[in-house]
Amino acid sequence: MSDEGTRSTAPRRKRVTIMEVAGRAGVSHQTVSRYLRFNGGLKPVTVEKIETAIRELDYKPDLIARSMRTGRSNRIAIVLPELTYYLPMPFQGATAAAHEAGYEVDVVSLEGDEERRRQRVITLMDSERVEGVLSLTPLGDMLETPTGSSAPIVVVGQYDDKMRSTGAFADGAFAAEVIQHLANLGHRRFLHVAGDQRWASARNRLLVYQEAITSLGLESYGVVGGQWTTESGYNAARDLPANSGVTAVFAAKDTIAFGVIRGLQDRGLRVPDDVSVVGWDNDEFARFCAPTLTTVEDNLGLIGRQSMLQLIALIEGKEPPQIPQEIIGRLIPRASSGPAPH
């Protein structure tokens, strides 16, 4: 049989062009090009039209053609201290922003101390394989582009060597809103199922929980746990004495809260009729479990996105946007929290 006899006859999918995106969005192709170059200044309604058209048409910028035309790699490196199964929310927000602006992302794991990572990043920047570097881990005293390198760098530096959140990423302030929310529902006695205390985020949530209990004149039955697992939440609920008087449980993470809910249900207790449960992270499953989970969303994805936009502006020679210092977040009340039982 000839090669022609085995060759697929299916038509090759034609690449969507910028003109088609412009037509779908009802704008000029120059406007779409300006959006893709991250020039800014477009009206929000125009941006929304273009982004909708890009999604509907599944438009992908021709990065190879752009690279040949401009002599640029159109690649950005995101530096992590180590690769794990867990990719943090700032990484996801940063990656999305890079792709939307027409850049490809290389994930670089740099194990070792800050000085070793700093030297390896300098080597990476000098290689000319990437146009910029976004680091989610500290790099010693390297806070700006080294002399002689053409690739800019933005260091967010909020994860340590073991991918544990630090600094603003570990903020526990919203624990006070959790306790206030439950107090407003009439709850007076609480249990906190804590996260791994090697993480600053777990320690901060515990600290703010204790401060809120004291300031509001409430009572904490105790603090248990110390892991990030669903099993730790289940065990905490299973071991809670029947006469504890606890009517509300604050879990340091949604995965813990899922275990708490299941543990309470296996004991014949109803959530939230008998015990209310609140988690942290706004895990996707929180909207679909039974009952749906009241939780805290700290928008780390937005921090990652804004950091990436800052880097892209530096790459393209534009004024970088300012990154807000405070964590943007919110308490999301759902069905797992309700009035305290009489």
Domain chopping of the chain, boundaries: 13-60, 70-163, 168-299
- Residue 161: is its pLDDT beyond 80? no
pLDDT tens digits, 39-72: 456 777 887 888 888 888 887 665 445 544 444 6
Dmax over CA atoms of the chain, in Å, equals 85
- Residue 162: is its pLDDT beyond 60? no
**CATH number of the domain located at residue range(s) 70-163 in this protein:** 3.40.50.2300
Q: How many CB atoms lie within 10 A of CB 341?
A: 13
What's the mean per-residue pLDDT of the chain?
80
From 24-33, 36-45, 131-140, the region with the lowest mean pLDDT: 36-45
Angle at 230 between CA 92 and CA 187, to 5 degrees: 100
- Classify 193 in phi/psi space as left (phi over 0), alpha (psi -120 to 50) or beta: beta
At position 14, the amino acid (one-letter code) is: K
Domain 13-60 shares a fold with domain 168-299: no
Q: How confident is the model at residue 284 (pLDDT cuts 50, 70, 90)?
A: confident
**Cis status, amide bond into 291, omega within 30 of 0:** yes
Counting every residue written for the chain, the total comes to 342
Alpha helices in the chain (DSSP H): 3-6, 18-25, 29-36, 44-57, 63-70, 89-100, 114-126, 174-184, 200-215, 230-239, 254-266, 300-315
d(CA 249, CA 193): 7
pLDDT tens digits, 301-313: 777 888 899 899 9
What is the structure's pLDDT at 146? Answer: 46
Mean pLDDT of 26-38: 76
From 112-121, 177-186, 243-252, 267-276, the region with the lowest mean pLDDT: 112-121
Whole-model pTM: value is 0.60
What is the structure's pLDDT at 1? Answer: 42
At position 66, the amino acid (one-letter code) is: R
What is the structure's pLDDT at 204? Answer: 86
Backbone angles phi, psi at 261, to 5 degrees: -60, -45
Sequence-distant contacts of 55-58: CB under 8 A, at least 24 apart: 56/24, 57/16, 57/20, 57/21, 57/24, 58/16
- Residue 342: is its pLDDT beyond 90? no
Q: Which of 76-85, 159-168, 206-215, 297-306 has the highest mean pLDDT?
A: 206-215
Mean pLDDT of 274-280: 97
Q: How far is CA 250 from the centre of its chain?
A: 21
CATH architecture type of domain 168-299: 3-Layer(aba) Sandwich (3.40)
Q: How confident is the model at residue 289 (pLDDT cuts 50, 70, 90)?
A: very high
pLDDT > 90 fraction of the chain, expressed in percent and rounded: 36
Q: Identify which has the larger pLDDT, 153 or 295.
A: 295
Cβ-proximal residues to 26 (8 Å cutoff; 6+ apart), any chain: 49
- Residue 334: is its pLDDT beyond 70? yes
Q: Identify which has the larger pLDDT, 42 or 273.
A: 273
From 57-61, 109-113, 171-175, 298-302, the region with the lowest mean pLDDT: 109-113
CATH of 13-60, one of 3.40.50.300, 3.90.1300.10, 1.10.3720.10, 1.10.260.40: 1.10.260.40
Residue from 312, 329, 330 nearest 321 by CA? 312
What is the structure's pLDDT at 143? Answer: 47
**Cis status, amide bond into 272, omega within 30 of 0:** yes
What is the structure's pLDDT at 239? Answer: 97
